[in-house]
Structure 1
Amino acid sequence: MHAGLDARLERISTDGRYLVVPMDHGITLGPVKGLVELETTVDAITRGGADAVLTQKGVAPRVHPNKNGKGYIVHVNGSTVIGPDENDKRITGSVEEALRSGADAVSFHMNVGSEHEPDQMTQLGELTEKAHRYGVPVLAMNYARGSGIDEHDAESLAHAVRLAEELGADVVKTAYSGDGDSFERVCQATRLPVIIAGGSRGTDRDTVEMVRGAMDGGAAGVSMGRSIFQHDDPEAITRAVSAVVHEDADTESALREAGLGIEA
């Protein structure tokens, strides 16, 4: 393994566990809650225990002064919800731009099973080759998305994460299959660290229980956006998730230690 690659992976994780908070949604959704005052949100979640934050390259100057020494990942493709096809992610940056932006890693979104899969497969393969020339890790966000595909089917997710390994990624993010037993099949499909996406916001209990289930199924952590950055107390929910990811806490203990009440 490349020494620089190892060093940078350590900057975006803790002892091989990952709590990444993606905040690249400004391209996809626009200036939604939690992203308008990006500086305040970055400060809160990194104080709460996030290992790394993830954004598009343009907002890097707003991230660095507020990330409290934690890791930084630059996302290099994207799309919008108001465009013709949200699954058609287009290239928005390069490895060189990410490095100039102070990134420790780059990330790339691929929709496995969509009509855009061929182009995205080629782009991810090219990205891993170039990133590894510089010793930069690649986080592949590989989802099972396409006509007739169940986005939470364990077999489809297993294919998606294995594809990431085959193309040279270093960490892979995918959707949660719904329970620890089925997610174990997903994690067994690859030797890469598998981290789950957070999806839309639920209750605090829903969020923490999902993380607990994924960790029980063999996940190496989470990459959780809206459930954290749109929370009324981003620091507290980050602490709860961090307790599960980094301290192996159960749901009740994590909520209690973070000062989050039991919701109805």
Structure 2
Amino acid sequence: MNTDVGLSARLDRISTDGRYLIVPMDHGITLGPVTGLVDIESTIDGITRGGADAVLTHKGTAPRVHPNKNGKGYIVHVNGSTDIGPDENDKRLTGSVEDALRVGADAVSFHINVGSDYEPDQMTQLADLCSRAADFSVPVLAMSYARGPGIDEQDPEALAHAVRLAEEVGADVVKTAYSGDAESFGRVVEATRLPVVIAGGSRGTDRETVEMVRGTMDAGAAGVSMGRSIFQHENPEAITRAVSAVIHDDADVDTALERAGLGIEA
């Protein structure tokens, strides 16, 4: 049982009964002002109405987040890179725990590419972030990916290593890629005591998105931290509602799609 009351309170603000539906929208640094992020205010309003537990951005967009998040949780991401720079895997610090607290965050997040040339520096930075966050009882979401030369980014053994690293350096929640099926992802979930959430990746069909979430939950994961599949949807509120039905109500795929008014796709 967690005896850190501040940490527990903040984790409760970014989850519901230990399950997580987080929508990261930190992509403005990486990709620029893409669809869904230009009018980020409307997107945040829709996804939080649809059932998201928390939204995630860089610190500079905090003034656009708070008036539109409908009382839901807020996470500040503290490193990044661009897709037009020399190497997108080379994530650099963009903020601190103190920065996040100043802009009203409930938690911080950090991206590490395990297996990349930048892993040593990123591991040190993540460990330091976890130590500093503990001083303030602030939860750390580690976005821990298996990503580097010769690495299969969906290999369950590599993903298991990535999530275990996050636990070892002191994170509270860990996000990683989905291995592709519930059976193999179960081995990833078993590699750590931390709540495991998956990334959504580039957008697929509504059914593919919800099937991935269903497989994730069947594997024993704690939820998702899903960005483009949600914020670039033509109806972010509806797809959030479908994903929420699986995570928070244990709905099957067809029920979730129907409940969200998205219909049954072939």
The two structures have a TM-score, normalised by structure 2, of 0.99
Q: Of 189, 194, 197, which residue of structure 1 is paired with 2:196?
A: 194
Instruction: Give the superposition deviation at 1:263.
Output: 2.6
Quick one: which of 146, 158, 182 aligns to 1:180?
182
Q: Specify the code of the residue in structure 2 equivalent to 1:214.
A: T
The Cα shift of 1:262 comes to 2.2
> Match for 1:73 among 72, 75, 80?
75
Cα distance, 1:2 vs structure 2: 1.5
- 1:82 aligns with 84
Aligned partner of 2:10 among 8, 11, 18: 8
Matched AA of 2:207: R
**1:32 aligned residue:** 34
The CA deviation string for residues 161-201 of structure 1, in whole angstroms up to 9 with x for no partner, is 00000000000000000000000000000000000000000
Aligned equivalents of 2:221 and 2:5: distance in 1?
24
Q: Deviations over 1:3-47 (max 9, x none)?
A: 110000000000000000000000000000000000000000000
Runs of 4+ in 1 over 2 A off after TM superposition: none
Partners of 1:103 and 1:129 in 2: how far apart?
A: 17
Question: Sequence identity of aligned pairs in percent?
Answer: 80
- Cα distance between partner residues in 2 of 1:263 and 1:142: 32
Partner SS for 1:34 = coil
2:252 matched residue in structure 1: 250
Matches of 1:125 and 1:97, distance apart in 2: 17
Partner secondary structure for residue 205 of structure 1: helix
Alpha-carbon deviation of 1:261?
1.8
Secondary structure of residue in 2 paired with 1:237? helix
> C-alpha separation between the residues in 1 aligned to 2:119 and 2:220?
27
Match of 1:63 among 51, 62, 65: 65
> How many pairs were matched up?
264
Distance 1:256 1:35 in 2: 27
Displacement of 1:209: 0.1
Tell me the distance in 2 between the aligned counterparts of 1:128 and 1:5.
12
Amino acid at match of 1:147: P
SS of the aligned residue for 1:118 comes to helix
Structure 1 unmatched ranges of 5 or more: none
Matches of 1:146 and 1:59, distance apart in 2: 30
Q: Match of 1:120? A: 122
SS at match of 2:194: coil
**Counterpart for residue 139 of structure 1:** 141
Equivalent-residue separation in structure 2 for 1:109 and 1:24 (angstroms): 11
Q: Distance in 2 between matches of 1:96 and 1:68?
A: 24
* CA distance in 1: counterparts of 2:119 and 2:4, whole angstroms: 29
Q: Which residue of 1 aligns with 2:236?
A: 234
In 2, the alpha carbon distance for the partners of 1:203 and 1:262 equals 11
Aligned to 2:108, the other structure's residue is in SS state strand
| Structure 2 counterpart of 1:134, one-letter code | F
Structure 2 distance, partners of 1:96, 1:195, is 25
* Aligned AA (2:229): S
TM-fit CA distance, 1:229: 0.2
Letter in 1 for 2:133: A
Task: Verify: 1:23 aligned to 2:64, yes or no.
Answer: no
Per-residue deviation at 1:125?
Answer: 0.3
TM-score normalised to structure 1 length: 0.99
Structure-2 separation of matches of 1:180 and 1:205: 16
SS in 1 for 2:28: helix
Gaps spanning 5+ residues in structure 2: where? none
1:153 and 1:181 map into 2 onto residues whose CA distance is 12
C-alpha RMSD of the superposition: 0.5
